Amino acid sequence: MLQKESSNSKKGILLVNLGSPRSTDVKDVKEYLDEFLMDERVIDYRWIFRALLVQGIILKTRPPKSAEAYKTVWTDEGSPLIVITEKIRKKLQKLVDVPVEIGMRYAEPSIETGIRSLVEKGVTEIVLFPLYPQYAMSTTETVIEKAEEVRKQKFPEVKINYIQPFYNREIYINCLAESIREKLPENFDALQFSYHGVPERHIFKTDPTKTCNLNDCCSRENNPSHQFCYRHQCFKTTETVIEKLNLPKEKVIVSFQSRLGKDKWIEPYTDETFETIPKRGIKNLAVVCPAFVSDCLETLEEISVEGKHQFTDAGGENFHYIPCLNDEDRWIEVVKTLCEEKLNEFYLV
């Protein structure tokens, strides 16, 4: 179906996610954080200042704390993020007749490892799928930059076609809405959409129009800045999902989690929201994290464990975490459709 008989080229799919440390040992967590935070698209300071902050400050204190957090979510098979990405791969592989591999932006299996595995199977044309619904410099952009660097240096004969952020694709929104609908508790006072945050500066930096003011601009229809505005894309995801769910806006909260450092990140902050909403009468809360397609440290520990404590300590009664899409069959169908669209584009060029 997807392999063209007459073509000499062989196609393949690479699913790319963020990546996790090799193990929960402090030295492995340190190595992972070093690679992650020294990425100029994550901590976007000049090299010398980034090195001073990351190697001089963060890596001196954070690794043991992060390692403890990872221990609370680690499974016998390994990091949830990698285990779930591998499950997605296996299910997708059953539905398509081209090889499917995974690659992580940080640590192993790396993007290079993934491309190499495909090349060893004879693949010359790759559809690379960054598994992030919304665009961010620290996610989609860094994945594409890294893959291009690896391709040019190690596999110049290979072509790569990139799947773009899919927050505005109806098939994805329908899938997410259905998944949430099935998991919502019968009674809840509010549904909170908690997205991973980014520093405000990142939004300004990637705005080609230099018009986004991080305010009403992000919610306005048809603004050319939206293509690279993570904040807009998170709001749009929420808006279209709640429309499908027929939920009134008054019952919905949007917030941004996981901030790091002293810079101003996009607001409101998830942890502060958990601590203030019980006082506004919200005692029964459902929470979903649509910036992640697979559960990971940031959902399983920061939200389901820490977030629940923050909410109940502040007077909240019931905290219901709604898992990510993970390897749900309807999500695998969406992954397949998005990959097939890009595989077919190879035939058009």
Ligand X SMILES: C=CC1=C(C)c2cc3[nH]c(cc4nc(cc5[nH]c(cc1n2)c(C)c5CCC(=O)O)C(CCC(=O)O)=C4C)c(C)c3C=C
Contact of 85 with 14, CB cutoff 8 Å: no
Least Å distance, CB 218 to Fe ion, is 3
Least Cβ distance, residue 199 to ligand X (angstroms): 6
Annotated ligand binding at 298? The verdict is yes
> What are the tokens at 211?
């018009």
Sign of CA dihedral 26, 259, 131, 286: positive
* Nearest residue (CB) to ligand X, 20 versus 237: 20
Closest CA to 73 of 64, 61, 65, 81: 81
Residue 146 as a binder of ligand X (CB under 6 A): the answer is no
The yes or no reply on residue 139 touching ligand X (CB under 6 A) is yes
Query: What gap in Å lies between CA 255 and CA 248, rounded to an integer?
Result: 17
Cβ closest to Fe ion, residue 86 vs residue 207: 207
Least distance (Å) between residue 128 CB and ligand X: 17
Q: Which residues contact 7 (CB under 8 A, 6 or more apart)?
A: 347
Q: In the sheet where 318-322 sits, what is the strand order?
A: 252-257, 190-196, 284-288, 318-322
The CA distance from 254 to 237, in Å, is 10
Can you spell out the DSSP letters for 241-283? HHHHHT--GGGEEEEEE---SSSPBSSSBHHHHHHHGGGGT--
Where do we find the tokens 């890009």?
Answer: 342
Under rule CB under 6 A, how many of the chain's residues touch ligand X?
A: 22
Q: How far apart are CA 168 and CA 330, in angstroms?
A: 17
Shortest reach from residue 137's CB to ligand X, in Å: 8
CB atoms within 10 A of CB 195: 27
Q: Using CB under 6 A, which of 13, 18, 203, 282 touches ligand X?
A: 18
193 three-class SS: strand
Secondary-structure percent of the chain, ordered helix, strand, coil, rounded to 5: 50, 15, 35
Does position 229 interact with Fe ion (CB under 5 A)? The reply is yes
Q: Minimal distance in Å, beta carbon 206 to ligand X?
A: 12
Check binding of 271 to ligand X (CB under 6 A).
no
What is the smallest separation between the CB atom of 20 and ligand X, expressed in angstroms?
3
Instruction: Tell me if 298 contacts ligand X by CB under 6 A.
Output: yes
Question: Which of 36, 155 has the CB closer to ligand X?
Answer: 36
Among the listed residues 12, 20, 98, 285, the single contact to ligand X using CB under 6 A: 20
The SS3 call for residue 64 is helix
Query: To the nearest whole angstrom, how small is the minimum distance from the Cβ of residue 132 to ligand X?
Result: 5
Q: Which two tokens stand for residue 336?
A: 């397949």
The binder of 20, among ligand X, Fe ion, none, by C-beta within 5 to 8 A per type, is: ligand X
Of the candidates 32, 29, 38, the residue with the CA atom closest to the CA atom of residue 56:
38
234 binds Fe ion (CB under 5 A): no
Query: Which of 13, 96, 218, 339 lies at the binding interface for Fe ion (CB under 5 A)?
Result: 218
Stretch that binds ligand X, among 134-142, 304-312, 316-324, 339-347 (CB under 6 A): 134-142
Per-residue interface string for the shown chain with ligand X, residues 75-94, x marking contact by CB under 6 A: ----x-x-------------
Q: Which stretch binds ligand X (CB under 6 A): 45-53, 115-123, 294-302, 323-331?
A: 294-302
166 belongs to the binding site for ligand X (CB under 6 A): no
- Which residues in this chain contact Fe ion in the complex, by CB under 5 A? 212, 218, 229, 231-232
Residue numbers in the known binding site for Fe(2+) are 196, 298
- Which residues in this chain contact ligand X in the complex, by CB under 6 A? 18, 20, 33, 42, 62, 66, 79, 81, 132, 136, 138-139, 196, 198-199, 258, 260, 291-292, 296-298
